[in-house]
């Protein structure tokens, strides 16, 4: 199930991956996640655990805020 929050998070993950010139497969290797899971994140279909968010941050060598850029904390989840 896709929500605006997951869609923005996924778009940020994709932007950061492309900025680092990584394929989904390479990001999957670096983050110890499956390539299909990376694709699901980027499409806004995956609701990640904190552990997987940290894995992405480390693999992308970014700040946590980079993945959450554009996500409003004043909106209700799922809307």
Domain boundaries, the chain: 4-68
Residue 67 pLDDT = 98
- DSSP per-residue string spanning 4-23: HHHHHHHHHHHHHHHHTT--
Q: How far apart, in Å, are the Cα atoms of 26 and each of 2, 74, 79?
A: 24, 35, 32
When the candidates are 1.10.3720.10, 1.10.540.10, 1.10.260.40, 3.90.1150.10, the CATH number that belongs to 4-68 is: 1.10.260.40
The pLDDT tens digits along the chain (79 residues) read 678 999 999 999 999 999 999 999 999 999 999 999 999 999 999 999 999 999 999 999 999 999 999 998 876 655 4
Residue 79 pLDDT = 47
Residue 46 pLDDT = 97
Residue 74 pLDDT = 78
Non-local (6+) Cβ contacts of 43 within 8 A are 2, 10
Instruction: Decide: 45 and 6 in contact? Cβ < 8 Å.
Output: yes
């Amino acid at each position: 199930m896709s929500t605006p929050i997951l869609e923005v998070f996924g778009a940020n993950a994709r932007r950061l991956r492309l900025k680092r010139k990584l394929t989904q497969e390479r990001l999957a290797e670096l983050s110890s996640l499956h390539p299909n899971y990376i694709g699901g994140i980027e499409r806004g279909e995956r609701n990640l655990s904190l552990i997987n968010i940290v894995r992405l941050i480390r693999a992308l060598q970014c700040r946590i805020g980079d993945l959450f850029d554009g996500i409003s904390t004043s909106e209700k989840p799922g809307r």
